[in-house]
Amino acid sequence: MAARIAVFGSGSIGAYVGGALLHAGAAVTLIGRARMQQRIAEHGLVLTDLQQRRIRLAPDQVPYRTDPEALADADLILVTVKSSDTVQAAQAIGQHARPGALVLSLQNGIGNATTLQQLLPDHVVLGGMVPFNVVQTDDGRLHRGTQGELMVEASPLLDPWSTAFATAHLPLIARDDFVAVQWGKLLLNLNNAINALSGLPLKTQLSQRAFRRCLALLIDEALSVLDAAGIEPAQVAKIAPRRLPILLRLPDWLFTRIAAQMLRIDPEARSSMWEDLQAGRRTEIDYLNGAVVALAASLGTTAPANARLVELVRRREAGNRTAFDGVSLWHALTAAPASR
């Protein structure tokens, strides 16, 4: 029997990765929520990207399950659940997956692979990083609107799977410095909340200096915390982490010339946090900007701008619909704390 892959948490990212692997000929089962199952039943699984590739799988070509019992036959489990669901994912894997199945975390944030490994002593757990954005479009597509390649914690255990991922246009880039990679990705993900609060497509938001100044502030603050922790974030994009704040603060006319590659984003792409807020779901803010705040606290210091952004997202989750342009967001992030 061919080795099988299960994608546990098949929302936007999971269904995109799983669908690409299915189209490439891999034996894949998608496991996720009923709303994605219904979406696929109505539209099939349609994947598009910046390179104009288009894949369409008919509903009967997509094995989609909502029950974790489908983990039982998997040799490789891709975990793509939200960070807040990592513990529940580990419990389901521990109960239903066969001992020895390889687990690859393809989640945002810091520490998910560690949590999975602690809760799954009978499995090898590796970290992975998905650099690109996937948005669910109104016409039923899952659209990859940004660039980047999958990065994974280096291990020979992934070698048997490398051809399948490469054939699916998802090559696995092995890294020995995976903790540094995670922090490098997190610095970029500090923009997720800004994008969600702006209500704008990513390309439009990043084209406005007022919003970019907010992101530069958050990244500068995070870099200071990482310096205090002795962590050097890896470069996971075209621009080195320490050059990002300088680039982001440039005037619009100069930024669009120098950072043209950064703006090579599909006009319809938005952050996953924006999608979560639109759907009334809890976001991953605690595992992104909140991770900077938590690391600072563990060192006896603070990250006030990131902490304020966490609070703004929490208010939005609670139903506050205050709209932010770049200037108002800057004032919110830099305001002095209210006196008690």
The domains spanning 4-176 and 181-334 adopt the same CATH topology: no
Give the residue, 146 or 295, on which the prediction is more confident: 295
Q: 128: part of which helix (H) or strand (E)?
A: strand 125-129
> Cα(115)–Cα(136) distance, rounded to whole angstroms?
29
Residue 58 C-beta-side C-alpha neighbours within 13 Å: 2
Instruction: State the residue for tokens 């992101």.
Output: 215
Superfamily of segment(s) 4-176: NAD(P)-binding Rossmann-like Domain (3.40.50.720)
Interval 327-333 mean pLDDT: 97
Interval 276-293 mean pLDDT: 93
> Cα(300)–Cα(113) distance, rounded to whole angstroms?
25
Residue 55 is given by DSSP the state: E
Q: How far is CA 178 from the centre of its chain?
A: 15
Superfamily of segment(s) 181-334: N-(1-d-carboxylethyl)-l-norvaline Dehydrogenase; domain 2 (1.10.1040.10)
Query: Which residue type is seen at 227?
Result: D
Instruction: State the residue for tokens 């006896």.
Output: 300
Cα diameter, the chain: 66
> Cα(63)–Cα(15) distance, rounded to whole angstroms?
11
Confidence bin at 339 (pLDDT 50/70/90): very low
> Cα(224)–Cα(243) distance, rounded to whole angstroms?
14
In 3D space, the residue among 137, 112, 136, 141 whose CA is nearest the CA of residue 126 turns out to be: 112
> Cα(147)–Cα(142) distance, rounded to whole angstroms?
15
> Cα(34)–Cα(323) distance, rounded to whole angstroms?
31
> Cα(110)–Cα(87) distance, rounded to whole angstroms?
14
Interval 224-228 mean pLDDT: 98
Using the CB atoms, write b or e for 18-50: b if 16+ within 10 Å.
bbbbbbbebbbbbbbeeebbebbeeebbbbbbe
Interval 258-268 mean pLDDT: 80
> Cα(321)–Cα(310) distance, rounded to whole angstroms?
15
> Cα(322)–Cα(197) distance, rounded to whole angstroms?
8
Give the residue, 279 or 101, on which the prediction is more confident: 101
Is the pLDDT reported for residue 152 higher than 80? yes
Token pair for 74: 């998997």
Strand partners, 121: none
> Cα(26)–Cα(208) distance, rounded to whole angstroms?
42
Is the pLDDT reported for residue 139 higher than 50? yes
Token pair for 146: 């940004």
Q: Where are the domains of the chain?
A: 4-176, 181-334
Interval 174-196 mean pLDDT: 95
> Cα(88)–Cα(78) distance, rounded to whole angstroms?
15
In the prediction, which pLDDT does 336 show? 66
In the prediction, which pLDDT does 228 show? 97
Q: What is the pLDDT of residues 77-90, one digit of tens each?
A: 999 999 999 999 99
Residues 6+ apart with CB under 8 A from 41: 59
Q: Say whether 136 sits in a helix, a strand or coil.
A: strand
Kindly write down the DSSP assignment for every residue of 58-87, as one continuous string: -GGG--EESSGGGGGG-SEEEE-S-GGGHH
Q: What pTM value is reported for the model?
A: 0.90
In the prediction, which pLDDT does 337 show? 64
> Cα(218)–Cα(187) distance, rounded to whole angstroms?
8
Strand partners, 16: none
